[in-house]
């Protein structure tokens, strides 16, 4: 495997979904699976560029073009830049679709939970399952109020088109208050045992986790989509020593002190190196480099597979030290 390359793609349409959410319809085709995401890179005056991950709301079974949906985040640079600046005809830099938040089979019965903009990958799964599979689909969709509902009319159309296969339950905090474990359990008890997919704000996902455990859903059947780097903390038994790192980058060898439990990419960026990276969440592979010496632990990984580890690939954005010295390269072949 090699680091994925950025692609400059054209936006053919911008759809206003709600007052603070828009969808970008892209001209260029990519192969992808329902529930995956794109990493979008935008310019930044002080840092050159910054990147964030946004889920695809389109489904390969139903949509001719890829569509990525972006909700404004208060003080969020990338989401606000996209909503304020991207128009039909604009170009944006992206990494190809990635992520593992996708059903192994579209024929399985599914139980889906979405909170707010967490509906984006979930509606992709809904459309794919209804068009390409035979299973039953139940969706619990929580929002602050009716104006916050994204894809409301599209979901209504899907229910009308598939009345015997799709059930959608809307939960609005403005009408019913914040849901409790008991209330959600009452809505989903009959779906115990189904493959479950959960995406939304962390408190909502934590609540849903308790619900799923309470109805006996096995842990291996619970799939959760997160994009917040701060939630991915190193293991409690991580090393307690300070290591040294040596990195061959752009033809030069750089040496650094590598504080315990600090990710390698942060060490490189703090030292002023323009190390390749994008999502910073272990999902895209843009920060891949090879280990020449030493060992690391990956806090999170959804891209590297066993054959990649066999070739000594690792992810700078997720690597913390496991030995007192480690050596890496972005360019040379792996050590024998």
Q: Does residue 335 register a pLDDT over 50?
A: no
- How confident is residue 1, by pLDDT bands cut at 50, 70 and 90? low
d(CA 259, CA 304): 24
How confident is the prediction for the chain on average, in pLDDT? 89
Most confident of 146-150, 244-248, 278-282: 146-150
Tokens representing 247 are: 């990195």
Q: Does residue 69 register a pLDDT over 50?
A: yes
- Average pLDDT for 258-267: 90
Question: Contacts for 239-246 with beta carbons within 8 Å, 24 or more apart?
Answer: 239/320, 239/321, 239/322, 241/321, 241/324, 243/294, 243/321, 243/323, 243/324, 243/325, 243/326, 244/324, 244/325, 244/326, 245/321, 245/325, 245/326, 245/327, 245/328, 246/293, 246/325, 246/326, 246/327, 246/328
Residue 237: per-residue pLDDT: 43
pLDDT in tens, 5-19: 789 999 999 999 999
pTM of the model: 0.75
Phi and psi dihedrals of 203, rounded to 5? -60, -40
pLDDT in tens, 183-240: 999 999 999 999 999 999 888 999 999 999 999 999 999 999 875 433 333 333 444 5
- Average pLDDT for 277-283: 79
Give the chain's end-to-end CA distance (angstroms, integer).
17
- Average pLDDT for 101-106: 94
Residue 236: per-residue pLDDT: 38
d(CA 86, CA 84): 6
Q: Pick 86 or 306 by higher pLDDT.
A: 86
Please report the sign of the dihedral spanned by the C-alpha atoms of residue 206, residue 208, residue 213, residue 219. negative
Phi and psi dihedrals of 78, rounded to 5? -70, -50
Percent of the chain with pLDDT over 70: 92
- Average pLDDT for 54-71: 96
Q: Which residues lie closer than 8 Å to 271 by C-beta, 6 or more apart?
A: 254, 256
Spatial CA neighbour of 127 closest among 171, 70, 166: 166
Q: Pick 255 or 59 by higher pLDDT.
A: 59
Residue 98: per-residue pLDDT: 84
Residue 304: per-residue pLDDT: 87
Residue 336: per-residue pLDDT: 42
Contact 27, 14 (CB under 8 A): no
Residue 134: per-residue pLDDT: 96
Residue 239: per-residue pLDDT: 43
E-strand stretches of 45-119: 48-55, 67-71, 91-98, 110-115
Please report the sign of the dihedral spanned by the C-alpha atoms of residue 121, residue 97, residue 91, residue 44. positive
Q: Pick 301 or 151 by higher pLDDT.
A: 151
């Amino acid at each position: 495997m090699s680091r994925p390359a950025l692609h400059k793609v054209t936006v053919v349409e911008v759809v206003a979904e709600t007052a603070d959410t828009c969808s970008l319809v892209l001209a260029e085709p990519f192969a992808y699976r329902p529930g995956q995401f794109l990493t979008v890179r935008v310019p930044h005056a002080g840092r050159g560029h910054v990147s964030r991950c946004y889920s695809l709301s389109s489904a390969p079974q139903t949509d001719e073009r890829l569509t990525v949906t972006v909700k404004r985040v208060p003080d969020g640079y990338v989401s606000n830049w996209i909503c304020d600046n991207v128009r039909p005809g604009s170009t944006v830099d992206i990494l190809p679709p990635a992520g593992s938040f996708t059903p192994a089979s579209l024929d399985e019965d599914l139980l889906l939970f979405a909170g707010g903009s967490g509906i984006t990958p979930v509606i992709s799964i809904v459309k794919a399952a209804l068009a390409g599979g035979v299973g039953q689909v139940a969706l619990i969709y929580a929002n602050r109020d009716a104006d916050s509902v994204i894809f409301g009319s599209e979901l209504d159309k899907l229910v009308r088109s598939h009345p015997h296969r799709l059930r959608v339950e809307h939960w609005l905090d403005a009408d019913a208050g914040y849901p409790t474990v008991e209330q959600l359990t009452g809505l989903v008890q009959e779906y115990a045992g189904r493959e479950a997919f959960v995406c939304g704000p962390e408190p909502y996902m934590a609540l849903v986790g308790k619900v799923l455990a309470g109805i006996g859903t096995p842990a291996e059947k619970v799939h959760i989509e997160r994009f917040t780097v701060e939630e991915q903390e190193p293991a409690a038994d991580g090393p307690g020593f300070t290591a040294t790192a040596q990195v061959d980058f752009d033809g030069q060898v750089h040496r650094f002190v590598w504080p315990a439990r600090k990710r390698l990419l942060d060490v490189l960026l703090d030292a002023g190196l323009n190390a390749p990276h994008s999502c910073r969440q272990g999902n895209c592979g843009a920060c891949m480099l090879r280990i020449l010496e030493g060992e690391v632990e990956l806090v999170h990984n959804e891209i590297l597979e066993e054959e990649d580890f066999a070739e000594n690939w690792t992810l700078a954005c997720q690597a913390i030290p496991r030995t007192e010295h480690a050596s890496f390269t972005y360019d040379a072949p792996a050590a024998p």
